[in-house]
Chains A and B, each alone.
Chain A
Amino acid sequence: MSDTLLEIDNLSVDYETERGDLKALRDISFDVKKGEIVGIVGESGCGKSTLISSILRLTAPNTRFRQGEVRFNGDDILAMTERQMRDLRGSDISIVFQDPMQTHNPVLTIGRQLLDIQHRSKATTAQKLETAAKMLAAVGIPDPQARLKQYPHEFSGGMRQRIAIAMALMSEPDLLIADEPTTALDATLEVQIIERLKELQSEMNCAILFISHHLGVIAELCDRVVVMYAGAVVESGDVREIFHDPKHPYTRRLIECDPGHIKTRARILPTIPGEVPDLVNLPDGCIFRDRCEQAFDKCQQVPALDKLKEGHFAACWLNHPEETTA
């Protein structure tokens, strides 16, 4: 049996728009092993949410899969029927969205919603309510019994997010996909959730695909990191290598811009000048070229995502000494 859970091979996804095809994902390849925690980082608009919705096949109507494969436990997700997909999403793959309001139905009490997700269980309603109250307590929500009767708007933002996390964990999935799950949480809760996710990994060998802008959380939680820029993977590798020895200028700039590194008050924080290129009219050459301080002649050609050593990949001509000295 292979130890690879999720395989993404040369995946390219477009959105059809009035201006032409928006090339949201281009030639994405990476694997997630069983029980591994993989972080995805990158600027907003770089395609993180598109990637997740493609894996889950919950894409917008104007989405076009152009090439590539997504395999889960060896099965081609893109070829599954809607029914197979629904079964997969309910049990083997769980998701926590960026916006917890997306998860909760505003007109149903939280108790009702926690009952509904247990529809597969044979337990009595009383038992299910008991389970639901325990779940709320497990994610640090006081007065769980009374809270079951409340509607989503009666909870604070962070509480809604914790409930969403609890709901996603209920089915004990093989893969948990989390899109910025801790942005609405304070630091102590964030750490608690990180600990909870680590437990989940070690107890149930659940793999986690974790998207976050908070580099501190990525550094603490993840085994491996995939860095995306403008719809492409520009670097991927072991978390230590990415933070201590990044091999792509974008990764380097991203880490430098993190105010977590700057311990005294700065009047002006570092930024990456310029903007993500228009994905309808892609520029020639390296996708990062017009914002890269180190760009040189060779960068007019697209660099491939090269294997620099076991498990560390980067797409930049600077890693080709023969090109830089030419």
Chain B
Amino acid sequence: MSAILDVKDLQTSYGKVNVLAGVSFSVQPGETYAMVGESGSGKTTVIRAIAGLAPAQAGSVKFDGQEIRGLPERAMRPLRKDIAMMFQDPIGSLSPRVTVRNLITEPYRIQGMKNKDIDAEAKRLLALVNLPSHFADRYPYQLSGGQARRVGVARALALEPKLILADEPTAGLDVSVQGELLNLLNELRDRLGLSMVIITHNLNVVRHIADRMGILYLGRLVEEGDTEAIFDRPRHPYTHCLLSANPEPDPDAQLERIALKGEPPSLLQRPSGCEFRERCPVASDICQQTPIWEVNNDHGLRCLTPR
């Protein structure tokens, strides 16, 4: 099987600041891949760089076998049909004076597809996200948070993308609406064979939606693999800290937290040896060497003395 998305050694710098220091991962057709990691570790930058919305000075991004890194906007535009972005607040950034019908069919106009039956398309898209067709006439402010997200999904689906890149798609949603949206994304994946890359801080979401997950630290993956396997047995000390921090919905829960020491290191002066060394609860002398990325049985790891 060939990957729908294959990212190799992706590098991004803003001036002197090296934000992504070689990120590699791939997504198979129909697969959902979750990217987690510390705030500021570069998650948003990864998906923006894939979509050509952030610089990517080196590396390779192959979409469906075709190299797309550094393509000029003109060459990128037709590809935006196949790669849809979902932003955190899909409605808030759009004009409140535009109806849902026009919002969700706007991608057709952007792509210059004039011979579409807008009414029929709006109906089709709304049905896809389980909204009644009369919602076409509503304005954004007349939608609840969950409905607004659904409209965002409908818009992302308008051009029948093969790949969805979603940044925090459920942030700010209450648990019931979040459940609805995740059920919908799961259903669409099964029905349309969609592939997805999802960034989220909500580890409970990762566990329920992602087939595979990657853990980013300081612009590099430190661990990657099957979601269930990683939740069952995180091998990288950072992953272990992260998963142990997840707050439990029980005031009496006895959490065995592994505290993460200190602050994220400076990107201007990356630490020597293992970049997690200063904060790692199990670091030893050997960690002055630089760990390499090792892949065994579909599981990637960057640590000299894994758990």
Question: Which residues of the partner chain B approach A180 to less than 8 Å between Cβ atoms?
Answer: 172
Shortest Cβ gap from B157 to chain A (Å): 20
Q: How long is the Cα–Cα vector from A254 to B174 in the complex, in angstroms?
A: 9
Contact residue among A43, A186, A243, A275 (Cβ-Cβ distance under 8 Å from B201): A186
User: Bound complex: CA of A258 vs CA of B247, how far in Å?
Assistant: 12
Interface range on chain B: under 10, 10 to 19, 20 to 34, or 35 or more?
35 or more
Q: A257-B179, A271-B179 are in contact. Are A184 and B168 (CB under 8 A)?
A: yes
Q: Are A240 and B252 in contact (CB under 8 A)?
A: yes
The 8 A CB mask of B246-274 against A (1 = contact, 0 = none) is 11111111000100100111111000000
Pick the contact of B39: A43, A158, A275 (CB < 8 A). A158
Q: Mark A267-278, 1 if CB is under 8 A from B, else 0.
A: 111111001100
Known: A44-B144, A186-B37, A258-B175. A269 touches B208 (CB 8 A): yes
Q: Which of A162, A220, A269 contacts B248 (CB 8 A)?
A: A220
Q: Are B249 and A260 in contact (CB under 8 A)?
A: yes
Contact indicator per residue, chain A 16-53, by CB within 8 Å of chain B (1) or not (0): 00000000000000000000000001111100000000
A215 touches B175 (CB 8 A): yes
Q: Are B178 and A186 in touch, CB under 8 angstroms?
A: no
Among B69-77, B118-126, B180-188, B293-301, the stretch that binds chain A is B180-188
CA distance A272 to B173 in the complex (A): 13
A194 to B245 alpha-carbon distance, docked (Å): 11
B242 touches A187 (CB 8 A): yes
Contact of B268 among A143, A186, A261, A271 (CB under 8 A): A143
B281 part of interface (Cβ distance < 8 Å): no
Are A259 and B179 neighbours in the complex by a CB distance under 8 Å? yes
Quick check: B38 and A186 within 8 Å, CB to CB?
Answer: yes
Nearest Cβ in chain A — how far from B119, in angstroms?
24
Instruction: Knowing A42-B174, A157-B39, say if A268 contacts B186 (CB, 8 Å).
Output: yes
**Are A239 and B208 touching (Cβ within 8 A)?**
no
* Residue of chain B at shortest CB distance from A161: B39
A42 surroundings in chain B (CB, below 8 A): 174
> B268 contacts A156, CB within 8 Å?
no
Chain B residues lying within 8 Å of A99, measured Cβ to Cβ, are 89
Complex: A239 Cα to B250 Cα, angstroms: 9
A140 touches B172 (CB 8 A): no
Cross-chain contact of B207 among A137, A159, A185, A259 (Cβ < 8 A): A259
A141 contacts the other chain (CB 8 A):
yes
Q: Is B252 a contact of A183 with CB atoms below 8 Å?
A: no
B146, B175, B227 interface centre (most CB from chain A within 10 Å): B175
- Whether the pair A183, B172 counts as a contact (CB closer than 8 A) is yes
A190 in the interface (beta carbon within 8 A): yes
B96 near A: Cβ within 8 Å? no
What residues on A are CB-neighbors of B173 within 8 Å? 44, 213
Residues of B within 8 A of A263 (CB): 207
Report how far A288 CA is from B267 CA in the complex, Å.
Answer: 51
Give B238's nearest chain A residue, CB to CB: A188
Complex CA gap A255/B14 in Å reads: 43
Q: Please, which residues of chain B bring their CB within 8 A of the CB of A183?
A: 168, 171-172, 201
Write out the residue numbers on chain A whose beta carbons fall within 8 Å of the beta carbon of B245: 187-188, 190-191
Given contacts A156-B39, A156-B40, A268-B186, contact A185 B201 (CB under 8 A): yes
Does the CB pair B176–A186 fall under 8 Å?
no
Q: Could you list which residues of chain A lie within 8 angstroms of chain B, going by C-beta atoms?
A: 41-45, 98-99, 137, 140-143, 146, 154-159, 162, 180, 183-191, 194, 213-220, 239-240, 243-244, 253-255, 257-263, 265-272, 275-276
Could you tell me which B residues sit within 8 Å of A by CB distance?
14, 36-40, 44, 88-89, 144-146, 168, 171-180, 182-183, 186, 201-205, 207-208, 227-228, 241-243, 245-253, 257, 260, 263-268
- For this complex, 16 residue pairs linking A to B, each with C-beta atoms less than 8 Å apart, are A98-B172, A142-B267, A155-B40, A156-B44, A158-B201, A159-B40, A187-B245, A191-B245, A213-B175, A257-B175, A259-B204, A260-B204, A260-B248, A265-B227, A268-B183, A269-B182
Contacts A183-B168, A186-B39, A275-B144 known; 15 new A-B pairs at CB < 8 A: A44-B177, A137-B263, A140-B263, A157-B168, A184-B168, A187-B245, A187-B246, A188-B245, A213-B178, A214-B202, A220-B253, A255-B249, A262-B204, A265-B207, A271-B183
